[in-house]
Amino acid sequence: MTLDEILVEVKKSDNIVIMAHEVPDGDAIGSSLAMCLALRNMGKNAIVLMKDFPENFSFLPGIEFIQKESEIKVFDMAIVLDCPNSKRLNEAFEEYFENAKVKVQFDHHNKNDMFGDYNVVNHVSPATAQILVSSFQYLQIEITKDIATCLLTGVITDTGGFRNTNVTVESFEFASWCLEKGINLSRIYQESMLTMTKTKFEAEKLAMNRLEFFADGKIAFTYLTKKDDEEIGLKPGDRDGIVEIGRTIEDVEVSIFLYEKEKGYKISLRSNEYVNVSEVASIFGGGGHIKAAGATILNMSFDEVKKAIISEVTKNLK
């Protein structure tokens, strides 16, 4: 089995680099740190390469192993987590992946390019962290309290706090196992789901004010511009969750959040019941999950992007 083969390769490796998708969320960070801690417990020199991450995750064990750059250029192994293709890696880190002697990835995105030498991909798993739980269990790698804290953070954030329909029996089994181990679930929940920075609050306020409905209220649309970004002084992670606001309003099937990036626009999509937003995102060169997806659009104006995305989502409504 792939997992056994990966373990053989890990045993032969000394220097291991761990990376996740850019603009990391709780699953990307939690999975990366859990993997890093597990490898370090095996005596490996493992580091996580990650640029800016939301500061509310600073409480996580292993956060000190996150580096923005690395002196080692060629690693024995690269492990990529929660990332469906090598393009979603931070551009500055691609070379570490390319140069690594062995390439491994663990992921749960709908469309995965299977870009590693070893690919552990499970589309129905709610979080990469949950794939790591079962992988560690299978390989009999001890899930310490610190590792469990990181993994539970990934499961909690990617299931929207156990609310989303992607949540599984295994999510709750792992949560209950964590509680039994004495892990502070309520603190993890508070830090990763409830506490927001003041700048995030300002961003949400603005996004709420601008929220518009389309298609008889089945679509909620809102946006933030580069100018807002500058005025508010947005921090990493401040835009996370804004797309969820529209989704919580009655009759809304799809929530769209559009924001202006340095180059182009990012669209975030969430659906409630039946629209496969991963399919919609793929029309714009993006992807994701059935009920949570996104894409980056270049070479279109704000109005063009807005019109195109609303019209594409409308086609999928009943």
Give the residues lining the site for Mn ion (CB under 5 A).
Answer: 27, 82, 128, 158
Radius of gyration of the chain (CA): 19
The 3-state secondary structure of 42-90, one letter per residue: CCCEEEEECCCCCHHHCCCCCHHHEECCCCCCCCCEEEEECCCCHHHCC
The answer for residues whose C-beta is within 8 angstroms of residue 281's C-beta and 6 or more apart is: 267, 269, 287, 288, 293, 294, 295
Closer residue to Mn ion, CB minimum distance, 158 or 229: 158
Closer residue to Mn ion, CB minimum distance, 27 or 240: 27
- The kind and range of the H/E element at 220 are strand 219-224
User: Position of tokens 């993994």?
Assistant: 151
Question: What is the tally of helices (H) and strands (E) in the chain?
Answer: 12, 12
- Minimum distance from CB of 47 to Mn ion (Å)? 21
- Minimum distance from CB of 74 to Mn ion (Å)? 28
Give the span between the Cα atoms of 220 and 259, in whole angstroms.
14
Give the span between the Cα atoms of 70 and 193, in whole angstroms.
31
Closer residue to Mn ion, CB minimum distance, 13 or 112: 112
- Minimum distance from CB of 85 to Mn ion (Å)? 14
Closer residue to Mn ion, CB minimum distance, 39 or 292: 292
- Minimum distance from CB of 195 to Mn ion (Å)? 20
Closer residue to Mn ion, CB minimum distance, 21 or 44: 21
- Minimum distance from CB of 55 to Mn ion (Å)? 20
Strands 102-107 and 77-81: parallel
- Minimum distance from CB of 88 to Mn ion (Å)? 11
Closer residue to Mn ion, CB minimum distance, 29 or 254: 29
DSSP state, residue 93? G
Closer residue to Mn ion, CB minimum distance, 174 or 221: 174
- Minimum distance from CB of 110 to Mn ion (Å)? 11
- Minimum distance from CB of 294 to Mn ion (Å)? 12
Closer residue to Mn ion, CB minimum distance, 128 or 149: 128
The two structure tokens encoding residue 290: 């059935």
**Residue of minimal CB distance from Mn ion?**
27
Closer residue to Mn ion, CB minimum distance, 128 or 271: 128
The residue type at 156 = I
The 3-state secondary structure of 229-275, one letter per residue: HHHHCCCCCCCCCHHHHHHCCCCCCEEEEEEECCCCEEEEEEECCCC
In the three-class reduction of DSSP (H, G, I as helix; E, B as strand; rest coil), residue 309 is classed as: helix
Give the span between the Cα atoms of 185 and 177, in whole angstroms.
11
- Minimum distance from CB of 30 to Mn ion (Å)? 9
